[in-house]
Structure 1
Amino acid sequence: EFVRSGGALYASCRSSSRDKTGGKPSDFLLADVLGVSLAAEAEGRLNFLTPAEDSFKDMLAPQDYLIHEGIFMQIKLAGAEILATRTRPWFDPDKRNVSGGFSSIHSNPPGPRGTEPALTRNVFGKGTAVYSAMAFERVEEEINTHVLSALMRSLLQRPPWFEAKAHPSVEITYFDQPENERVVLSVVVNQADLPNVPVDVTIRARIPNGANPKDVVLLPDETLLNFRRADGDYIEFDLRQVPVFAMVAVGYGV
């Protein structure tokens, strides 16, 4: 009902291919929402995501392919449109056949452009669902993050509730609390190497229902922060040298 009512969904690889007991149904549990059916788990763990239409080509630019090593789910179209196809390397490195079985001594370049669906988009009710046959979002490379972000933005039917300018290690959540007439944003710095290096964060947050912002305070001490109005219903404010965690409340009213 979430997607049918206008929501946006991204799913990948084995998503919805298991039931509540861990069993394997014959098809995706979300097959109708995704607009694709499960065929099989493919052989060969090295694959290339190849643009099949202009919008995804622009997301991937300047690269021509997105390489991924991992599980690939073969699918059959059931109403979805193809955004990208699967391209295989010239030789499958999993077969480890050295004699006549490689095209480069130190890499596995893509072979002829494939036609098998690998990334699809489906309109379901008032919403949209995107499915990727391989979980490329699990790889922490800049291009993977960029492509996933571009896909998410393409699914939005309204302006995002918040945006941020911050180090990639920063995670932010946004919760509206209408009963308290405030929005609470939590900022977590989760760097790979500890201790964290404190980071600056600039947040651009949208005020619900066009309400007027009253104040921005740093919790729990309720220290006032300066903020500035931005385009539309947005405000912007800065957090300086966040070490690990910060929580901010944005008060609003009529």
Structure 2
Amino acid sequence: MGHQMTVNVTDASSKTLGYLTLPFSDPGNASKFSSIHSNPPGVDTDSPAIVVTPVGEGLSIYIAATVDLNYYGALLDGILREHTGIRWSCDSTAPECVEITVFDDHENDRILLHLVNYQSQVPPIPVCDFAVNVSHRLPGDVEVKSLFGKSLKDAVLRDGTAEIHFDRLDMYSIVEIRARIK
């Protein structure tokens, strides 16, 4: 455990969406309690925990938490949808150890999907039987092929989303998605 991240809001255009509540209560008052298994009254603070600030044509979103942990995904997704209308361009049934990057290669009119099986042990334990859904800028009919790695099983296009199935990911794979040439 590290120190709690905090921020001082100085920009008048910033919008604070939530404040830090400390996860403990007054030990002198036994009628109030706080735990991870209850709706803790805790101690409210004036420290912003979620701040959205316009920057140029975009947004800066500050969250006083480690957002790469799985349970913050829904929170971050909701904030992005509410303030930008952006939906995730990719989601997956792969376990946490699989890091996925979607690269929109406009120059070559394709989307590259990079998958890394990142575990503490070397070599990593292979990850088997999972799917990745990509819905970013897909034309009506796409071709999906593996550029590196032999993990690709099949791909199905449904409602503008490419559902890509993988048999096994040992360490690294690259998948290309592009419009099918007729």
Equivalent of 2:158, from 211, 214, 230? Answer: 230
How big is the shift at 1:167? 0.5
Q: Is the 8 A contact 2:81 2:87 kept in 1?
A: no
Q: How does 1:159-178 map to 2 (within 5 A)?
A: 159-178=87-106
In the alignment, the residues of structure 2 paired with residue 119 and residue 244 of structure 1 have an alpha-carbon distance, to the nearest angstrom, of 35
Gap change, CA 1:87 and 1:245, over 3 Å in 2: same
The match for 2:18 is: 84
How big is the shift at 1:194? 3.8
Q: How does 1:60-139 map to 2 (within 5 A)?
A: 69-76=3-10, 78-88=12-22, 89-90=24-25, 111-124=42-55, 126-132=57-63, 134=64, 136-137=65-66
How big is the shift at 1:248? 1.0
In the alignment, the residues of structure 1 paired with residue 19 and residue 151 of structure 2 have an alpha-carbon distance, to the nearest angstrom, of 52
How big is the shift at 1:125? 5.8
Pair 1:210-2:143 in alignment: no
TM-score (normalised: structure 1): 0.53
Amino acid at match of 1:206: S
Report how many aligned residue pairs link the two structures.
Answer: 173
Identity rate of aligned residues, in percent? 22
Runs of 4+ off more than 6 Å: 221-224
Amino acid at match of 1:82: T
The match for 1:192 is: 120
In the alignment, the residues of structure 1 paired with residue 44 and residue 149 of structure 2 have an alpha-carbon distance, to the nearest angstrom, of 58
TM-score (normalised: structure 2): 0.69
1:138-165 Cα deviation digits (max 9, x unpaired): 6x75434543444344444244332222
Of Structure 1 and Structure 2, the greater helix share is in 1
Of Structure 1 and Structure 2, the greater strand share is in 2
Long gaps (5+) in structure 2: none
In the alignment, the residues of structure 2 paired with residue 249 and residue 161 of structure 1 have an alpha-carbon distance, to the nearest angstrom, of 15
Long gaps (5+) in structure 1: 1-45, 47-67, 92-99
In the alignment, the residues of structure 1 paired with residue 5 and residue 148 of structure 2 have an alpha-carbon distance, to the nearest angstrom, of 45
